[in-house]
Amino acid sequence: MKKIITLFIFLLIVSTIKTSFSQVLLPADMNTLDSLKEVNKGKVILINFWAHWCKPCKEEFPDLVKIHTDFQNENFSLIFVSLDFDEALENNTIPFLKEQGVDFTTYYNNFEKDEELILYIDKNWNGGIPGTFIFDKEGELSASLVGLQNYATFEKEINKQLNK
């Protein structure tokens, strides 16, 4: 519990620091994602795995940003996790996030092995991106959406968990 509280305080402090792009990008490993799920307990959580070089990821990104805006006053949280490599984060990932109007803390993959990330999120996930995973208010996986999706699909799955 102490580890979760410390990480939460760290995330709060770091999220108030702005980079030159007004974008905070933090590493995400199992502990980070566990902490984010704990902090968002009672909310529907959508975690989207994407990369700047992935055309379908970039195509669905505006719909996800709109979902974030439309559901910001609901019991909902959107978490972006970039699968870009370290060398692309500053020159590609952060500018793309800025271009898309993402002004909230986002994350990049910091698992040691891709298999660890895949097994952590959904053992049935083949690792394809975009990969969107929706967790219910108790933090349990309720939907796995792999490949290009649209606003209506995201909205339907979120509303299902919000009991609308």
Look at residue 93 and tell me if it is in a domain.
yes
For residue 56, give both structure tokens. Answer: 């379908």
CA–centroid distance for 91 within its chain:
20
Q: How far apart are CA 37 and CA 40, in angstroms?
A: 5
Contact 16, 47 (CB under 8 A): no
Number of domains in the chain: 1
pLDDT per residue of the chain (164 residues) written in tens, 0 to 9: 655 554 455 454 444 433 444 578 999 999 999 999 999 999 999 999 999 999 999 999 999 999 999 999 999 999 999 999 999 999 999 999 999 999 999 999 999 999 999 999 999 999 999 999 999 999 999 999 999 999 999 999 999 999 86
Q: How far apart are CA 45 and CA 154, in angstroms?
A: 11
CA–centroid distance for 164 within its chain:
23
- What is residue 93's predicted lDDT score, i.e. its pLDDT? 96
Q: What is the separation, in whole angstroms, between the first and last Cα of the chain?
A: 33
Look at residue 7 and tell me if it is in a domain.
no
Look at residue 17 and tell me if it is in a domain.
no
Contact 114, 127 (CB under 8 A): yes
Whether omega for the bond prior to residue 56 falls within 30 degrees of 0, making it cis, is no
Q: Provide the domain limits for residue 58.
A: 23-162
- What is residue 1's predicted lDDT score, i.e. its pLDDT? 60
Angle formed at CA 92 by CA 88 and CA 94, multiple of 5 degrees:
105
**Looking at residue 98, what DSSP letter applies?**
H
Look at residue 3 and tell me if it is in a domain.
no
Look at residue 8 and tell me if it is in a domain.
no
Look at residue 11 and tell me if it is in a domain.
no
Look at residue 18 and tell me if it is in a domain.
no
Look at residue 2 and tell me if it is in a domain.
no
